[in-house]
Structure 1
Amino acid sequence: MSATPRKPPPIARELLGKAFPPQDADRIFADKVLHRPLLLQPTAEVDPGAPTVDARTRRQQARAKARQLSRRRARQKPKPLSAREIRALRVHKIPPEARKYAIYEPIHRMWVGYMQELLGTQMPVTPAAVAKLVSAEFVGAEVQVVRCRCVSRVGIRGIVVKDTKFTFEIVTRKDELKSEFIPFALDLYPYPHLLAEINYPIEIPKEHAVFRFEIPRPERLGEDSTKERNLVFELHGSQFEHRSTDRANKKFKQHNLDDL
């Protein structure tokens, strides 16, 4: 019988035999070549009758899918409350349990320190300090209505708890929110069954009203603070009808006040 021809070694074994000793070449060939797993990813079955999709069509499909996903997220996102719902739910109204003068006294003390730091220690107060006073924050100030076209509002005194564009909302020492009732038609109110439970207040309007507030002078070393009087300012509400955020960046100019 003729001897079967011996198969030549793989070419990878020959190349490893040239670079490493025989034992090392056999070990590396067995570990790195023979026993190395081959990971295969199955290919998707392609329908031979399906039309081919070009790159432009794929981009259009991707954009349509993105728009559909965006509309789905917009539907799932909660919608903000409308102005009518905010008024009905009284979102911006102070609840009765928060109408306590003692709650806002620490805020008033913080406001006094804020104003003393804003005006500085130079006495008398300079025009530059007064310009800063106009753009300051008045939530926490204790104000008093000294002049007003509505006589019933004169003498009201309390801490400002809300500063809007046209009104000051004040909590008095009697733990009440100074307010008046607004006459309105019942058929225009969105929830007439809640009228018995709602005290619909209006804040002190700034128009045609003059507010007075005091700022204690800062104590200085070597001086008797009892001999110094507090700084008293009068704020003309008709010239102060701005939101606090807009007032901080607004440059006020001196004008003649004809209504005084």
Structure 2
Amino acid sequence: MAADVDPYRPKALGSNALYTPTYVQSHLTVSDPASLYNARIKGRHVPLANPAKDRPPKSTSKKSTGKTSVRKALVRDRTRKGGWQLEKEAERFDLFVPLHRLWVEYMSELLGLASSSEHPSRMPNSASMHPKLVKADLHGSLLTVRQSRNPCLVGLSGIVLYESENAFRVITKINQVKLIPKQNTIFVLAIPLYSTLDATQIPSTSRPADAQTQAQASIPTVLDVPHLEFELYGNQFRYRSAERAGRKFKAKETIEL
């Protein structure tokens, strides 16, 4: 290399040797690159990269306007307004016994149970009840916890006041409202063996006001009459009652706790 060569010296370009026209025309393989440059490139704005696209704000994205977000917003609004809370004076088991009786009559009609006077010795076909039980409304039913990872919940029994996707809210005979999760819990659902539409299977609880302050264990429920018991596996029952009514259930094995 010669000693007088300066590699950092800027290259001298004359007025007739502009860099862009010279570079573009030298890389064109057409017969007349000058005319093509003047027609398509000269005096025009040529982007060297793709322009950035404008993204919509997060508030109008598909995720925030989906059905799941709307449903969660409704649940938060109901919870904030106290839609699922009972007043302290209303936490009494005897107040919800009529709701339980109404549910028993609903199950008698749904399952088509026969009265005890018509077929006193015939047992109903339990296999035909399964498709109807998984889609039935359980508000007012009497559930008992048979198995759970929480030992404090085993044996807990009460009338269902509210069913959500992941839990049951029940009231026990000692006037306590409990929230029982469905996950990893096995419930026992009791239904009457015979129809109660004739209002003779479960006796009435109409009694004087002073007698209603006695022990709540004397109030009759479906457990006080001939009944059938079915096991509900909470892991397979984690749906809302409205969703469960239109869902197609498939028989599958369940791993024991």
TM superposition score category, shorter chain reference: 0.5 to 0.7
Where is the helix percentage greater, Structure 1 or Structure 2? 1
**Match of residue 153 from structure 1:** 153
Residues 84 and 168 of structure 1: CA distance in aligned 2, closer, same or farther (over 3 Å): closer
Matches within 5 A, 1:91-240: 91-121=83-113, 123-178=123-178, 203-218=179-194, 229-240=226-237
Decide whether the 8 Å contact of 1:166 with 1:205 is kept in 2.
Answer: yes
Q: Is 1:248 the equivalent of 2:224?
A: no
Q: Distance in 1 between matches of 2:252 and 2:141?
A: 25
Q: Distance in 1 between matches of 2:192 and 2:75?
A: 41
Unaligned runs of 5+ residues in structure 2 are 1-72, 115-122, 202-224
Instruction: Give the number of aligned pairs.
Output: 150
Give the fraction of aligned pairs with identical amino acids, expressed as a percent: 35
Q: Distance in 1 between matches of 2:147 and 2:249?
A: 23
Q: Distance in 1 between matches of 2:78 and 2:193?
A: 42
Relative contact order higher in (CA < 8 Å, ≥ 6 apart): 2
Decide whether the 8 Å contact of 1:148 with 1:210 is kept in 2.
Answer: yes
Unaligned runs of 5+ residues in structure 1 are 1-80, 179-202
Residues 86 and 116 of structure 1: CA distance in aligned 2, closer, same or farther (over 3 Å): closer
The amino acid that maps onto 2:243 is D
CA deviation after TM superposition for structure 1 residue 234, in Å: 1.2
Decide whether the 8 Å contact of 2:166 with 2:181 is kept in 1.
Answer: yes
**Match of residue 209 from structure 2:** none
**Match of residue 255 from structure 2:** 258
CA RMSD of aligned residues (A): 2.4
Decide whether the 8 Å contact of 2:108 with 2:195 is kept in 1.
Answer: no
- Normalising by structure 1, we get a TM-score of 0.53
CA deviation after TM superposition for structure 1 residue 90, in Å: 2.6
The amino acid that maps onto 2:245 is A
Residues 108 and 251 of structure 1: CA distance in aligned 2, closer, same or farther (over 3 Å): same
Q: Distance in 1 between matches of 2:74 and 2:103?
A: 33
Q: Distance in 2 between matches of 1:148 and 1:138?
A: 20
Q: Distance in 1 between matches of 2:168 and 2:107?
A: 18
